Structures are given as structure tokens and as C-alpha cells.
Structure 1
Amino acid sequence: MKISITGASGFVGSNLSVFLKEKHADLLLLSLRSEDWRDQLDRSSDVVIHLAGKAHDTANAASDEEYYNVNTELTKDLFKEFQRSGIRDFFYFSSVKAVADTVTGILEEEHSPDPQTAYGKSKRLAEEYLLSQPLPPGKRLFIIRPCMIHGPGNKGNLNLLYKMVSRNMPWPLAAYENSRSFLSIDNLHFLVWQMIHKELPSGIYHFADDQPIPTNQLVQLIGAATGKKVKLWNIPQKLISFAAQSGDILPLPLNTERLKKLTESYVVSNARIKQVLGIANLPVTAEEGLLKTLKSFNK
């Protein structure tokens, strides 16, 4: 099987490439930064997995134009080449942020998109373009919306919590009960491989582990991975909120925006992809995946 991958130098791309090679796939690593990428594209591939993109810049240093040029326009260009080629499957890795920055309840594929950032909007515009285009017979289009992906070697948003626990700092927000969905890199590999080899309908699919994880449980998992005693402080929410509001004025480590990010829930459903694959559970539980990732930080 021949598979072309864009964005193979990133965390997901590098890990997925190793996984696919172990499955004896014939890989072409395509760099869209190259001006002659169209000439390099293997039009006889079976699958193209489009991972390349401008990641969300939490420092807000990137311009809106950068997001649209990379996430929207390059995706359009690649899909046009796919339409004219003999390639069967097009995987576009979008993001749950193309739908919502905050979630009330559980985020499903039918949720009405309302992205708030240039990153999310650029991803959503790419989705809209792909869905509006005619799909030649025999071809499939998969729009993948993963939640926060993690795995060995990639701390991502886990880094702040990890540092606090590993340095024996208390977690002061234990009074908040929130849950978040994560996606282990191992489950991502499993899902992509299954989708390639099974007769699935084109469409949008959310990728997430089976179980959302409460932040307090995540802190305890970090303690288990590091061998540190976890300190959970149940400070009244009113006091925390007052401190955060003070941080909006004074140079304090906590402000209302940071408090929101640390305590809000973001739960993503993976029911659709499991239904079409005919499986009850993914191979790696959320807790197993997180422990594997967290233990890798110690090395």
C-alpha cells in the first residue's frame, strides 16, 4: 500500500510514519513548503494523509493571513490534485477547534460550527471547501477532528500540570470539577489504519479516547507517573475567582482567562467512528495512554 503524508516532520506525522512503516506501507513524505510539491506528489498512491498546517499559536504571534494561507489555501490546492489523481482516500486532519472553542455538554459531529480564533476559522473554511467539492467515483474524503493529541515525547498542554506536580507544588483548583477529552497517539494510529482498510462512508469523524478525564484525576495520574505525592487544595471557588480578577489588573500568575482554560470542560464524542468501525472500545484507555505519555517525561 502506498501512502503519501504531508506534515511528516511534526509530532503526529513522525509517529504515524513510524507506525505505517511497521505495517509495511510504502510511504512518500511530501513537503508542501517545496515549490515543486505538485511534481513530487505520487498520484498512484492509495492514500494521502494531510497533516501539514499552521498550529494554534497560544502566544498569538501569528497573523491571521498565515493561518488562512497554510490551513485553508494549501488544503484546497492539495485536494484539487487529489481530485485529478488516482488516489483513493484523502484524510484531512482538521481540529475540534474548527467547531467550538468552548463546549457545553458533549461535542458531536453535528454540532453547529462557531470557531472563534483565526486557527479554528481557517480549519473550518478548509472543511467547508472540501465538503462543497464533487467527489469522483471510487474516492473517499475523511475530515478528522482530533481533540488534544499526546504521546511520548510531546508534553503539549500537559506540561504546566506536569511541572507543578513534579516540583511538589499543590494543585489549587481542586474545587473545580471539570473533564476533558484527550487522544493518545496509539489510538490515532489504530483509527487511521482501520479507516484505510474498511469500507467506510466519507464524512467528518471526531477522534478522542473513550473516557474524558477530570483534571483532578489527571493531576493524580501525574503523581503516579512521577512518584510524587499529590497535593489537592480545595480552595473555595469564590476566592479563586477573586484572585483571578485581581490577576486581570496585577501581574499575578492567575487571571480570568487562564482560570477558564484550566477549569473548563471540553468533552468530545467518538461514538460515530466507533459505530462505523463496528467496535465498542479503542485499544488504549485514556488513563493508559496518559500514563504512557507522562512516564516518558521522566526519561
Structure 2
Amino acid sequence: MNILLTGATGFVGKRLVDQINDQGVHVLTCAVRRSGSAKYGHEVLVDGLHADTDWSSALSGQPEVVIHAAARAHVMKDEVPDPLAEYRKVNVEGTLHLALQAAKAGVSRFIYISSIKVNGEQTPKSKPFTVENVPTPQDPYGVSKLEAENGLLEIASETEMEVVIIRAPLVYGPGVKGNFASMIKLVEKGLPLPLGAIHNKRSLVALDNLVDLIITCVDHPAAANQVFLAGDGQDVSTTELFCGVAQAMGKPACLIPVHAGILMFGARLLGKQTVAQRLLGSLQVDISKTRKILGWEPPLTVEEGLRRCFVSENEC
């Protein structure tokens, strides 16, 4: 099967390129902005992801499937005057423009990598997000991903192109950046942290688990026009996560047990409620629909996924 991949140079895209080529089942074309930036496979140059992008060259190879992993990524401290407008230019207008051209070119399936931020930012403990929940995105990034999802489902209803949407929570793996990378640095420094008594629950997804799910959706007949939630199927507390990272690194976890209420109170005094919420709050994802419809199980446990964060590319 011929596949066109966008976002081939990103965190998820790079691993997709590796896995698709290693399997040798599909023929991969990578849409890139600079020649030689994708590791393997045929490349085709495009001038970005926006409402005027010309995708004719990328679609001229008649791909049956488009995996759309490119996006304007979530920015913690966005300094642009209107963040939502900037997200919409890429994540909504750019995505729907590509999807319309793909449908006209005869693409049979469009796989969209979305975000659990479409559902929201927090769940009550033991009440995970499901696909059936009414979406309540809390930031411009989440809003843009929801708008793109809605637009894609509308295109699917008006054309013969199937759409598959995958919402992922925090993705971790070799080369991870953002908050997870910051956590790794804290563990590396070995400084005592007041996070030894946090009993929240967070859903994560190992990079290889997410990639395996995406590849499963390439040709699974039951995936057509479905929304799936991704995850490891194993939720962890912040305390458990720090301990797991430390164990994977072969370092001691220097965690001091401090009650979460005290930490939240201190965070409010310092104006750090958002940071505290990520560390102390719960965000759980129910992947039972994904398992049932696709017969899919995450190949890696959390422990295995964490160990892979600290191996070289050649060892993966």
C-alpha cells in the first residue's frame, strides 16, 4: 500500500518512518520542507502546511493512505498576539486543505494524529476520558485540533475518503522533549523533590505503542471513520512516574513525601497552579474502544516504554 506521511521529521513521524520501512509492507513517501530531512523513503517537497499549500506533487504518486502527523505543536508560553489564529492557520485550514485535495486525488483513508487535549485537561480520578465524552478543550491548541477533527469528519461524510482520528495523551520515548524531558533532567540532577506522596493517575502513551496503533489503522477495515484514544493501558501517579524514570536511568529517586494539598497551596501562592495541576491532577484515558474495535493491545508496558527512552536509536 502506498502511504503519504506528513510530519516525517517530527518526534512521532521519525519513528513512523523507521517502523514502516522496517516492516517492508508499505511504500512510503514523506512530505518534507527540506530535501534530505527524512531518514528513509521517497521525499517530496512542500512549502509548509497552510491553506494554500500545493499538494499535487505529493499526491501524484496516488497514495491510498495519508498519515497526517504534521501540526503546529502545543506551545507552553505562546508569545504570538493571537495563538488560536496561528493554530487555526496550520492545524485547521492547512489540515482540511490537504484532506480535500487528498479526497479529490482518490486517497481512500486519511489518518489524523490528534490530541487528548480535545477532550480536556483533567479528569476526576478513576473517571477517564472516553470517545463518547463531549469535547471540552481548554486551550487554543486543543480547540484547533477539535475543529480539524470536525472538519475531517464532515469531509468523510461528503466524499468517499475514510477518516481515522487518533487522540494521544503525552507521548514519551527516545528523544522526547517538553515536560517529559524536563522531568528527566530533574531526575538526572538528583535533587530532592517533594513528590513522594502523589496519588493521582495519568495516562501516557509510549512512542512505539502510538506508532503501532497508527500502523494498525492503515488498513484495518474496522478503523474507518472512527475516533480512537491512544494509551499504554496502564495509568501511573506522578510519584510512580518519577520512580519509573529513575529506575530506567539506573538512578535513585530522591522523592520527599509531601501532601498534595500542601503542594497545591504553595503553587497558588507562587502563581504556579498550571504547573501544579500537571503534577498533581489526574488525566486518564479509556482505550477500551480502541482495544475492542481493532483488537489492539499496546505492545509495550510503561516500564518497557520508559527503558526505551534511554537507549540509542540503533538499539531501539
**1:151 pairs with one of 173, 176, 181:** 173
Shift, 1:216, TM fit: 1.0
Instruction: Give the alignment of 1:55-134 within 5 angstroms.
Output: 55-62=73-80, 63-104=83-124, 105-133=127-155, 134=157
Contact 1:30 1:40 in 2 (8 A): no
Distance 1:222 1:278 in 2: 29
Matched, 1:162 2:184: yes
- Asked if the contact 1:93–1:144 (Cα under 8 Å) also holds between the matched residues in 2, the reply is yes
Where 1:166 maps in the other structure, the secondary structure is helix
Question: What is the alpha-carbon distance in structure 2 between the residues aligned to residue 85 and residue 68 of structure 1?
Answer: 24
- The one-letter amino acid of 1:39's match is S
One-letter identity of the residue aligned with 1:142: V
Match of 1:39 in 2: 56
TM-score normalised over the length of structure 1: 0.90
Q: Does 1:282 pair with 2:304? A: no
Paired with 1:65 and 1:237, the residues of 2 have a C-alpha distance of 36
Shift of 1:287: 1.9
The secondary structure found in structure 2 opposite 1:29 is strand
Confirm or deny that 1:202 pairs with 2:207: no
**What CA distance in whole angstroms lies between the structure 2 residues aligned with 1:58 and 1:197?**
35
Structure 1 96/5 Cα, relative in aligned 2: closer, same or farther at 3 Å?
Answer: same
Closer, same or farther: CA 136–154 of 1 in aligned 2, 3 Å: same
SS in 1 for 2:59: coil
Q: Distance in 1 between matches of 2:85 and 2:3?
A: 30
Change (3 A) 1:132 1:174: same
**Post-superposition shift, 1:265?**
0.9
1:237-274 alpha-carbon deviations (Å, 9 max, x no partner):
443233223212xxxxxx22221121111111111111
- Give the CA deviation at 1:135: 4.6
Going from structure 1 to structure 2, the CA distance change for 1:100 and 1:181 (only over 3 Å counts) comes to same
Please list every run of 5 or more consecutive structure 1 residues that lacks an aligned counterpart in the other structure: 249-254
Match of 1:154, SS state, is: coil
* Cα drift, residue 163 of structure 1: 1.8
Q: Give the conservation status (yes or no) of the 8 Å contact 2:246–2:252.
A: yes
**Which residue is equivalent to 1:28?**
29
Distance 2:173 2:274 in 1: 27
Distance 1:94 1:196 in 2: 16
Please, what TM-score do these two structures have when normalized by structure 2? Answer: 0.85
Structure 2: state its 5+ residue gaps. Answer: 33-45
Alignment partner, residue 281 of structure 2: 264
Aligned residues, how many?
A: 290
Indicate the SS of the match to 1:113: coil
Q: Give the deviation of 1:148 after TM superposition.
A: 1.0
1:132 and 1:224 mapped to 2: Cα distance? 46
The AA in structure 2 aligned to 1:211 is: Q
AA matched with 1:284: L
Q: Does the C-alpha gap of structure 1 residues 20 and 234 become closer, same or farther in structure 2, counting only changes over 3 Å?
A: same
Q: CA deviation at 1:232?
A: 2.1
- Contact map agreement 1:97 1:120 (CA 8 A) in 2: yes
Q: Secondary structure at the match of 2:309?
A: helix
CA distance in 1, matches of 2:204, 2:108: 29
Distance across 2 between alignment mates of 1:216 and 1:271:
25
Paired residues of 2:111 and 2:217 also in contact (CA < 8 A) = no
Deviation at residue 42 of structure 1 after TM alignment: 2.1
Cα deviations across residues 205-227 of structure 1 (Å, max 9, x unaligned)?
A: 11111111211111111221222
CA distance in 1, matches of 2:57, 2:303: 41
- Return structure 1 stretches of 4+ with deviation > 6 angstroms: none
Query: One-letter code of the match for 2:27?
Result: D
1:154 Cα deviation (Å)? Answer: 1.4
The match for 1:252 is none
Distance 1:296 1:177, change over 3 A: farther
Contact 1:28 1:42 in 2 (8 A): no
CA distance in 1, matches of 2:251, 2:53: 51
Deviations 1:101-152 (A, max 9, x none): 2222201101101111111111111111112232534x32101111111211
